[in-house]
Every structure is written in C-alpha cells, then in structure tokens.
Amino acid sequence: MSAAGWFIVLLALAGANLPFVNQRLFGVVSLRTRKKSAWLRIVELIVLYFVVGAFGFLLEARAGNRFDQGWQFYAITFSLFVVFAFPGFTWQYLVKRRTA
C-alpha cells in the first residue's frame, strides 16, 4: 500500500472519531447547547465520510489511475468508516466519567 493510501486510512480514522470527541460542530464551530445530540453527530459523521472520500478520490485522480466504483464499494467504505468511529462512540457514550 502506498503512502497516500495509508494517509487516507489515517484521515478516515481521525474523521470518523471527530464527531464524538468534542462538542463542537466539525471540531470548529461552537454550538449554543452544552452537548451535541446524537442526530447531529450522525449527520456530521456522514458529511465527514464524503469529505474524506472526496479527498481520497482527489489523490487517486492525481496519481493518474482513477477507477470507477460501484455501489458495493461505497457501502463497504461507509461501513468501514462507521467501524472506525467505534473508539469515539465508546468514549462518548459507554465510558462512565466521574463528576466532581
């Protein structure tokens, strides 16, 4: 696997966990609520999937060997993106934190 391929995998790992590790929209925009809703996190996850996918498409096209993909490719990569989000989901919803 090339360096660009590993970079996309690491970018996907970071992008999948971004909605769960902070209370800001896309890690940048501050919200008026104290805690983001689960629906907002899901929408953010889907948008980040397309952003990472577009970046991967750009790198593939720049390398000169762009391949056409069917719906199966997108179903598998989205499933993988959701699996990559598991550590952030676990941290946000399953880890009990002590409150002082």
Mean pLDDT of all residues in 83-99: 87
Residue 1 has pLDDT above 70, yes or no: no
Domain-embedded: residue 99: no
Query: Is 100 inside any structural domain?
Result: no
DSSP H or E stretch at residue 76: helix 71-84
| One-letter identity of residue 45 | L
Residue 63 lies in a domain: yes
Could you report the per-residue pLDDT of 8-63, keeping only the tens digit for each? 999 999 999 999 988 877 777 777 777 888 899 999 999 999 999 999 888 888 87
pLDDT of 84: 95
Q: Indicate the number of domains in the chain.
A: 1
Residue 38's domain spans which residues? 3-94
Question: Does 37 map to a domain?
Answer: yes
Backbone angles phi, psi at 29, to 5 degrees: -85, 125
- Distance of alpha carbon 85 from alpha carbon 74, whole angstroms: 16
